[in-house]
């Protein structure tokens, strides 16, 4: 099973769309320092108000999460996971898979985990390339804080992928699955930073899993296990639940 999982991960990693996703992330890494070269005064003021910190690094982290990585995890998980099992069914290979000693929920779980692993690989790859590039290009860049702050966001990306797979497991139509995934993830990500704009809503916005991924933005000057572990733990549980719910959805799917 582990060998099959590894081979499926490698096969997904080699797909053309995965390489295009990688190119999209590379473009994000290269363009952000250019975007931030001369921020206007009102942007600096707004960042100081929302995050209580006027350092250029806080502005960089806000733009990196809001403008780049949140957009990435609105689209890439849907592209990677919203056709799981449905594509095999539409291509007519499901009867062959059904004849193997692997139940449909287990096959779905295997494919969903591969998609999550590919999403994680792309996310981590972008942060590591960014770590090198931003250190050279962004004044006041803090590598350790950057990596720590992006770790909950990685878990949010994994959840978004598991969530897209779960939609596929229940909707059972590729077009509708992609459309619902894009809409719901777009709305969740659009609302993910609302708690910073309107502090009175901070606690209620934590029900949004995507807010958990960006929570580190509010404590960049004192990031530690106490700030990072709870959102990562919650997002891990939500990812497992999403994949389990999706697997339950494909239980009765006919080959």
Partner 1 sequence: MTTTGSLRDYYLLEARHMPRRAPIAAAIIGGVGVLATHAILVRFPARALHFLELSFDIRGMASILLINDLMAAYFAPFFVGLAGLLGAVVAAREEDQLELLLAKPIHARVLLAARVWPILGAAAASGLAVSLVTAVALVPYLAPGDRVSFAGALGGGLLLTAFALLLLAMLLPLLVRMRDAFHALLVGSLVWLAPLMPSAVLIYRPDVYEVHTSLRSTIVLPTLLWHDATSAWLGPAALVLVLPLCALLVRIAGRVLERSDTR
Binding site for partner 1 (CB under 8 A): 15-17, 20-21, 24, 34-40, 42-43, 45-46, 49-50, 63, 67, 71, 75-76, 78-80, 82-83, 87, 90-92, 174-176, 178-179, 182-183, 186-187, 191, 194, 197-198
Least distance (Å) between residue 66 CB and partner 1: 10
- Give the CA count within 13 Å in the CB-facing half-sphere of 28: 27
Q: In whole angstroms, give the CA distance from residue 237 to residue 221.
A: 27
Q: What are phi and psi of 140, to 5 degrees?
A: 75, 15
Least distance (Å) between residue 123 CB and partner 1: 16
Least distance (Å) between residue 144 CB and partner 1: 25
Whether 83 and 178 have beta carbons less than 8 Å apart is answered as yes
Helices (H), the chain: 2-14, 16-35, 41-51, 56-63, 70-81, 86-90, 94-98, 104-137, 143-171, 174-190, 194-197, 209-213, 225-249
Q: In whole angstroms, give the CA distance from residue 72 to residue 20.
A: 12
Q: In whole angstroms, give the CA distance from residue 47 to residue 218.
A: 11
| Nearer of residues 44 and 248 to partner 1, judged by Cβ | 44
Q: Smallest Cα–Cα separation from 85: which of 75, 73, 98?
A: 98
Q: Give SS3 for 47.
A: helix
- Give the CA count within 13 Å in the CB-facing half-sphere of 145: 17
| Nearer of residues 21 and 156 to partner 1, judged by Cβ | 21
Least distance (Å) between residue 199 CB and partner 1: 8
| Nearer of residues 139 and 240 to partner 1, judged by Cβ | 139
| Nearer of residues 70 and 151 to partner 1, judged by Cβ | 70
Whether 225 and 144 have beta carbons less than 8 Å apart is answered as no
| Nearer of residues 33 and 152 to partner 1, judged by Cβ | 33
Least distance (Å) between residue 87 CB and partner 1: 8
| Nearer of residues 1 and 91 to partner 1, judged by Cβ | 91
């Amino acid at each position: 099973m582990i060998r099959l999982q590894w081979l499926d991960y490698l096969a997904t990693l080699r797909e053309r769309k995965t390489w295009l996703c990688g190119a999209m992330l590379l473009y994000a890494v290269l363009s952000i320092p250019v975007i931030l070269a001369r921020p206007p005064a009102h942007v600096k003021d707004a960042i100081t108000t929302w995050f209580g910190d006027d350092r250029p690094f806080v502005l960089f982290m806000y733009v990196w999460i809001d403008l780049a990585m949140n957009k990435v995890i609105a689209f890439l998980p849907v592209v990677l996971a919203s056709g799981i099992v449905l594509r095999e069914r539409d291509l007519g290979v499901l009867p062959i898979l059904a004849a193997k000693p692997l139940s449909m929920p287990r096959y779905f779980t295997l494919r969903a985990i591969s998609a999550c692993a590919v999403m994680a690989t792309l996310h981590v790859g972008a942060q590591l390339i960014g770590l090198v590039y931003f250190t050279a290009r962004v004044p006041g860049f803090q590598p350790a804080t950057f990596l720590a702050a992006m770790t909950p966001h990685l878990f949010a990306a994994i959840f978004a992928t598991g969530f897209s797979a779960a939609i596929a497991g229940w909707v059972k139509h590729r077009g509708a699955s992609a459309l619902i995934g894009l809409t719901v993830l777009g709305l969740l990500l659009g609302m993910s930073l609302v708690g910073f704009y309107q502090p009175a809503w901070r606690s209620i916005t934590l029900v949004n899993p995507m807010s958990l991924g960006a929570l580190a933005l509010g404590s960049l000057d004192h990031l530690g296990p106490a700030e990072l572990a709870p959102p990562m733990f919650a997002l891990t549980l939500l990812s497992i639940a999403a994949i389990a719910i999706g697997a339950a959805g494909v239980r009765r799917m006919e080959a």
